[in-house]
Amino acid sequence: MKTRTITLTAVIAALYAAITVGFALIPGLNSLMFGSVQFRLAEALTVLPYFTPVGIWGLTIGCFVSNLFSPYPIDMLVGTLASFMAAVLTYLIGRKKNRYSDYIAPLPAVIINAFLVGAQISIISKTPFFYNAMTVAVGQFAVCYLLGLPIIKMIKKRPYLADCL
């Protein structure tokens, strides 16, 4: 691996982990990072694999590190797997760009997290899957589209940013 690839992977992982853990340390916000109603601001970064495969590993590592702080130890496996799967799909969307790709790119993180993390929360808390899937999906949708989509637009408008990736 090139030094640039390793560095970019580390930067993405560090950003994801710092944002998630940083907000989780604020009293009252821990449940928004790891609870049934998730609103992880770092999930906006899930659009980065749209531009580069390096984003796949950066997000996966960042999610794993973040999930070390989760009250649910299984989150290290399930949450990290969900992030990896969503990142791979986002990367594939970026390889087959069309006029709708920008709007489809945030979707894998919404759908996969809704199902996998929703199922995990349902099993742990013994609450209905549909409720947990919907609450995770709503939080993911808000972050991935309200923050992630503008990240896509910003990077596309500034080619020098895409070159950094």
- Tens of pLDDT along the chain (165 residues) come to 699 899 999 999 999 999 999 988 888 877 777 777 788 899 999 999 999 999 999 999 999 999 999 888 899 999 999 999 999 999 999 999 899 999 999 999 999 999 999 999 999 999 999 999 999 999 999 999 999 999 999 998 887 776 676
Choose which CATH entry (1.10.1760, 1.20.1690, 3.30.1330, 1.10.1060) describes domain 3-164: 1.10.1760
Q: What is the pLDDT of residue 35?
A: 72
Q: What is the pLDDT of residue 31?
A: 75
Go through the chain and tell me how many residues it has: 165
Q: What is the pLDDT of residue 37?
A: 74
The 10 Å Cβ neighbour count of residue 160 is 7
Q: What is the pLDDT of residue 1?
A: 66
The Cα 151–Cα 92 span in angstroms is 18
Residues 6+ apart with CB under 8 A from 73: none
For 2-123, list the strands marked E by DSSP: none
The Cα 119–Cα 136 span in angstroms is 10
Smallest Cα–Cα separation from 21: which of 54, 74, 63?
Answer: 63
Q: For helices 75-95 and 107-125, give the axis angle rounded to 10 degrees.
A: 160
